[in-house]
């Protein structure tokens, strides 16, 4: 059923649209992680012709000098898209609902992958109402057909072959007419205390004309068989969130529980990338897939909060910050 949530939204006659499919996965035993993106952008009239892009980043948790980032850009005429069954091909690289393969190279380095992946959960919809996926606002739509997936296969990076067998990861589908003004996103399905736990968190601010909206947040945690989700507007604006490159804290409350999330990573484990909206405006994204994450859980008892558990992940979480100005502390690599 989740395959329909991956089907391409774009009508090839429409201008002013972008669409992204990304994979992220970790191999804890080697402290390695990857981020792979199959994308398209159809600029507004006068801003260029439709393109397809293939991105890849390798994060080396044992040696920050080993991080490697790649991007190849193609005319969209070199892409092939399945409309009834999900398939997105860019040059020789192919993404389906359960597999991915491709190769990127630059400056004597390369990244090559041949993967299969399987869902362990249903699609997660970040927005609470189906109508929000049809409306003009928000301008970016997002869902995760594989919010909690297992990856197997091979990846070759920096001349080394990594053999993956049921490694934790995620696949998400994003589309729209413009990225948010700024945002911070995190994901983890590699918690030490509960390997089945899934965390997805997002805080974002958009612009409507010259005005900036309040920051709204999405919080989703699956833990010990229970689902805790905060994504309705009345709840989202009350989530407390504060971030900078390297550190993010978020507090959400629901169903008599309070969740304090903290993500952190040294700046040398971030890779900067540049996004281009269909109207040609830039956004700068600072991303790592090897952040630390803690979730402290409290329960309301007798009018006060009492500790009720903690989830921890060391160097295995996705953590991304994006904004409209460059931060010179982290180099933009692609």
Using H for helix, E for strand and C for coil, what is the string for 196-220? CCEEEEEEEECEECCEECCCEEEEE
* Contacts of 102 by beta carbon, 8 Å cutoff, 6+ apart: 36, 38, 54, 56, 90, 92, 93, 94, 95, 112, 113
pLDDT score recorded for residue 120: 83
Residues 318 and 306 in one domain: yes
Residues 142 and 273 in one domain: no
pLDDT score recorded for residue 303: 87
pLDDT score recorded for residue 1: 77
- 103-129 burial code (b ≥16 CB/10 A, e <16): bbeeeeebbbbebebebbbebbbbbee
Residues 146 and 247 in one domain: no
Burial group, residue 268, by CB count within 10 angstroms (0-12, 13-18, 19+): exposed
Residues 95 and 200 in one domain: no
* Contacts of 241 by beta carbon, 8 Å cutoff, 6+ apart: 184, 203, 215, 217, 248, 249, 250, 251
Q: In this structure, what token pair is assigned to residue 73? A: 């850009």
Query: What does the H/E/C string look like for 269-283?
Result: HCEEEEEECCCCCEE
Q: In this structure, what CATH number is given to the domain that contains residue 228?
A: 2.40.370
Q: For residue 7, report the phi and psi dihedrals to the nearest 5 degrees.
A: -60, 145
Examine residue 333 and state whether it is found in any structural domain, yes or no: no
Examine residue 332 and state whether it is found in any structural domain, yes or no: no
Mind listing the pLDDT tens digit of every residue in the chain (334 residues)?
Answer: 789 999 999 998 899 999 999 999 999 999 999 999 999 999 999 999 999 999 999 999 999 999 999 999 999 999 999 989 999 999 999 999 999 999 999 988 999 999 999 988 899 999 999 999 999 989 999 999 999 999 999 999 989 999 999 999 999 999 999 999 999 999 999 999 999 999 999 999 999 989 999 999 999 999 999 999 999 999 999 999 999 999 999 999 999 999 999 999 999 999 999 999 999 999 999 999 999 999 999 999 988 999 999 999 999 999 999 999 999 999 999 9
Examine residue 183 and state whether it is found in any structural domain, yes or no: yes
3-state secondary structure of 233: helix
Cα-based distances in Å from 215 to 126, 201, 206, 220: 15, 13, 8, 17
Residues 118 and 217 in one domain: no
| DSSP conformation class of 181 | S
Residues 98 and 122 in one domain: yes
Residues 185 and 296 in one domain: yes
Residues 225 and 279 in one domain: yes
- The total of other beta-carbon atoms located within 10 Å of residue 13's CB is 6
Examine residue 334 and state whether it is found in any structural domain, yes or no: no
Examine residue 5 and state whether it is found in any structural domain, yes or no: yes
CA dihedral 323, 200, 20, 235 (to 10 degrees): -70
Helix and strand numbers, DSSP H then E, in the chain = 1, 24
Examine residue 141 and state whether it is found in any structural domain, yes or no: yes
Q: How many residues does the chain have?
A: 334
Residues 168 and 135 in one domain: yes
pLDDT score recorded for residue 119: 82
- Quote the number of domains for the chain: 2
Residues 108 and 250 in one domain: no
Q: In this structure, what token pair is assigned to residue 93? A: 């690289």
Residues 206 and 281 in one domain: yes
User: Which of 9, 22, 14, 103 lies closest to 275 in space, CA to CA?
Assistant: 22
User: Which of 261, 317, 313 lies closest to 287 in space, CA to CA?
Assistant: 317
Domain end position, chosen among 147, 177, 207: 177
User: Which of 82, 76, 117, 94 lies closest to 4 in space, CA to CA?
Assistant: 82
Domain end position, chosen among 155, 177, 199: 177
Domain end position, chosen among 151, 177, 203: 177
Alpha carbon distance 189, 187 (integer Å):
7
Angle at CA of residue 271, ends 52 and 149, nearest 5°: 70
**Domain span at 202:** 179-327
Q: For residue 11, report the phi and psi dihedrals to the nearest 5 degrees.
A: -90, 120
Residues 238 and 283 in one domain: yes
Q: In this structure, what CATH number is given to the domain that contains residue 164?
A: 2.40.370.10
Examine residue 53 and state whether it is found in any structural domain, yes or no: yes
Alpha carbon distance 253, 62 (integer Å):
36
């Amino acid at each position: 059923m989740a395959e329909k949530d991956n089907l391409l939204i774009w009508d090839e006659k429409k201008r002013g649209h972008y669409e992204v499919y990304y994979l992220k996965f970790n191999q804890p035993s080697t402290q390695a992680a990857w981020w792979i993106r199959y994308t398209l952008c159809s600029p507004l009239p006068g801003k260029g012709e439709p393109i397809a892009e293939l991105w890849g980043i390798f994060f080396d948790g044992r040696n920050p000098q080993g991080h490697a980032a790649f991007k190849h850009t193609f005319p969209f005429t070199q892409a092939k898209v399945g409309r009834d069954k999900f398939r997105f091909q860019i040059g020789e690289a192919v993404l389906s609902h359960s597999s991915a393969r491709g190769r990127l190279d630059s400056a004597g380095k390369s990244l090559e992958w041949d993967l299969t992946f399987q869902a362990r959960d249903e699609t997660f919809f970040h927005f609470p109402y189906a109508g929000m996926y049809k409306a003009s606002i928000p301008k970016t739509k997002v869902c995760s057909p594989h919010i909690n997936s297992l990856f197997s296969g091979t990846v070759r990076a920096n001349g080394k072959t990594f053999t993956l067998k049921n490694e934790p990861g995620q696949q998400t589908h994003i589309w729209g007419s413009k990225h948010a003004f700024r945002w911070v996103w995190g994901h983890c399905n590699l918690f030490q205390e509960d390997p089945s736990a899934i965390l997805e968190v997002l805080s974002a601010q958009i612009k409507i004309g010259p005005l900036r909206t309040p920051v709204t947040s999405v919080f989703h945690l699956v833990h010990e068989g229970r689902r805790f989700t905060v994504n309705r507007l009345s709840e989202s604006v009350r989530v407390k969130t504060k971030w900078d490159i390297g550190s993010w804290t978020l507090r959400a409350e629901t169903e008599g529980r309070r969740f304090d999330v903290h993500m952190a990573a040294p700046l040398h484990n971030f890779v900067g990338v540049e996004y281009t909206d269909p109207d040609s405006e830039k956004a700068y994204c600072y991303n790592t897939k090897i952040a630390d994450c803690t979730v402290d859980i409290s329960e309301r008892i007798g009018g006060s909060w009492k500790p009720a558990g903690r989830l921890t992940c060391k160097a295995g979480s996705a953590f991304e910050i994006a904004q409209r100005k460059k931060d010179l502390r982290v180099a933009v690599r692609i």
